[in-house]
Amino acid sequence: MPAKHFIAGTAGHIDHGKTSLVRALTGVDTDQLKEEKERGITIDLGFASSTFPNDITLSWIDVPGHERFIGNMLAGAAGIDLVVLVVAATEGVMPQTREHFEICRMLGVRHGLIALTKSDLVDEDGLDLAIADVRALAQGSFLADAPVLPVSSRTGAGVERLRGALQALTAQMESRPVSGNFRLPIDRAFVMKGFGTVVTGTVFDGRAVPDQTLLLLLRNKPVRIRSIQVHGKPAEVARRGQRAALNLTGVDVAEIHRGDTLVTADGFRLTREFDVQLEMLPSAPELPPLHPVHLHLGTTACVAKLRFHDRVRLAAPGNRLFARVLAESPVVTLPGDHFILRRFSPLETIGGGIVLDNHPPRLRRNQGEGGKLTTLAGGDPAKALTEFVRETAAGCSLESLIPRMGYSAPELRRLAERSGLRMGGPQANWLLEAEQSEELAGRIQSILAAFHSRNPMLPGMSKEQARIALNAPWPDAVFDWFLSQDSRFHREGETVRLSVHKPSLSGEEAAAAGKLESLFRSAGLQVPPVEEALRASGIEPRTAQTLLHGLVREGRLVKVGQDLVFHKQNLAETIGLLQSRRGQRFSVAEFKEWTGISRKYAIPLLEFLDRQRVTRREGDSRVIL
């Protein structure tokens, strides 16, 4: 069986024996601060670890129970795999017992057990009352069927039984699958002599190794991992679901604060607005929109306000609803993260929930988000990916979704395949939903059809003009791919047309084209400049220009230079003249004599013949090939 690592947290009222219980299980006193020793209470997070014979390691996070330090408790509870709800048999369920229990439930904790501490100080009736009290609290929750274990940290009674229950529980649990880019919300930062800056936290996503460069957010500062410890032991990798300490270079400890996050560069973006599914506690007061609350997300705590979706005017006690969180400070979050809300006064937990969309589009007046958010709340990442692509005007790049979903590029590709999304472009990194793709193709078809209707003589529309008309934020290569994979469209260079389109001329236009062609044919090799020829034709200027382009496209006229166009027959006769002298070397003067033209025409015409490999220049002369 491979080794397993889990994060275990304590929860419960102040002075119910959480720290003493962890010390009894691990031998480690997690109260390290001088003030904690003096006052006999836990103020900040404490850490310890224990191992079981079946190669399972538990990293313990001991949280404070006093209501004044709930913020510290929340920083520690983020990311735990199982909780030991600690209730003193002498007092039973108390206010912080309930609050800690609700916090664990809303943070998505799914495993745990209940420890009745100080059980040596009550008789059997008192113990039965305490058990009934915690059973009533846990009814209908993830702890409903959890064992309730009397224990005394002072005498050691029940400690081994508790340890055995933890071993049995963790043996049934599965380690979190490693996915996504690396993310570690920091809960401690300190200096270790001989090592320098060290940060600790629970790895929320991905994996990291020594010498890897990460980004410190909110500072936006690159840092490098010098070494790693996992669950208190040196390690070559820190993975999702593990408790890790990272020794960093490139940053001073004074620059790091609890709530900062270490992430893979380019894998995450800071946000101040995100959509959530909110659950209000039954004991919470009614919450109006835009009322300030304390937001706790991972190890981050900040002030926030909420807007409610779907015209909900009030978050009532016990309600579930969709909302947009407006945080006063930027945060790092991904879909699936859990959060807690606390009111300002009195300081108490009023609700929590789960993040659904960390970078939602801007809300428009009377916009309904219920359908999309209901899909996101279902928790299927393939469906979420489809929703994110569908809400864009013309699809989106795979890279843009990495910080929105928290998956690596290969993981997103697999999700896209599973979702039936189209992947296109040079690197197949542009995602389109099937209906969206067909709607865009229909719009292009309409744009081109309208253009052909207005300009039947033209071969097609400028590709850039078509893209502007489509109003799709596509890179050029993606637009080229989209046109090339649809048989309805045909692209030639920078021009695009409907495949069925053939330039057509009316009777008058055909006569005008013939007149223009005759003008160039009769001019021989001494043709007038293009603008002069068009004026001399007597044809309306715009029409004349269109007809000229059509004659060049059909090959009846040949553009030799910027302002020089010859009739194809005149050129053919000149080439025939030269080929009758094949192999002969000649000068510009001789060419002028043969053709009867001036240097003004001879030089550009010879350069054209060089490009056509009729002649080859060698110094001041040429050879006829």
501-519 as b/e, with b when 16 or more CB fall inside 10 Å?
Answer: bebebeeebeebbeebbeb
Residue 82 forms part of a structural domain:
yes
Residues 203, 151 share a domain: no
**Residue where a domain stops, chosen among 432, 454, 470:** 432
Residue 609 forms part of a structural domain:
yes
Whichever domain contains 423, its CATH number is: 1.10.10
Residue 340 forms part of a structural domain:
yes
Sheet holding 615-618, edge to edge: 585-586, 621-624, 615-618
- Residues written for the chain: 625
Residues 399, 288 share a domain: no
Residues 421, 343 share a domain: no
Residues 12, 137 share a domain: yes
Residues 195, 317 share a domain: no
Greatest pairwise CA separation for the chain in angstroms: 128
What pLDDT is attached to residue 39? 35
CA distance 606 to 587: 10
Residues 156, 117 share a domain: yes
Write out pLDDT tens, residues 595-608.
Answer: 999 998 999 999 99
Residues 281, 344 share a domain: yes
Q: How many CB atoms lie within 10 A of CB 409?
A: 14
What pLDDT is attached to residue 421? 92
Predicted TM-score (pTM) of this structure: 0.78
Write out pLDDT tens, residues 66-82.
Answer: 444 355 555 556 678 89
CA distance 360 to 373: 11
What pLDDT is attached to residue 51? 82
Residue 503 forms part of a structural domain:
no
Residues 161, 230 share a domain: no
Residue 613 forms part of a structural domain:
yes
Residues 134, 241 share a domain: no
**Residue where a domain stops, chosen among 355, 375, 395:** 375
Residues 365, 415 share a domain: no
Confidence of residue 356 (pLDDT cuts 50, 70, 90): very high
Residues 26, 156 share a domain: yes
Residue 504 forms part of a structural domain:
no
pLDDT at 37 over 70: no
What pLDDT is attached to residue 529? 85
Residues 492, 352 share a domain: no
Residue 511, helix vs strand vs coil: helix
Residue 206 forms part of a structural domain:
yes
Whichever domain contains 578, its CATH number is: 1.10.10.10
Whichever domain contains 141, its CATH number is: 3.40.50.300
Residue indicated by tokens 């990293």? 59
Confidence of residue 1 (pLDDT cuts 50, 70, 90): low
**Residue where a domain stops, chosen among 147, 172, 197:** 172
Domain residues for the domain of 448 are 435-498
What pLDDT is attached to residue 118? 93
Q: How many CB atoms lie within 10 A of CB 228?
A: 20
How large is the average pLDDT for residues 290-309? 92
The alpha-helical segments, DSSP class H, found in 428-529 are: 434-454, 463-470, 476-484, 507-522
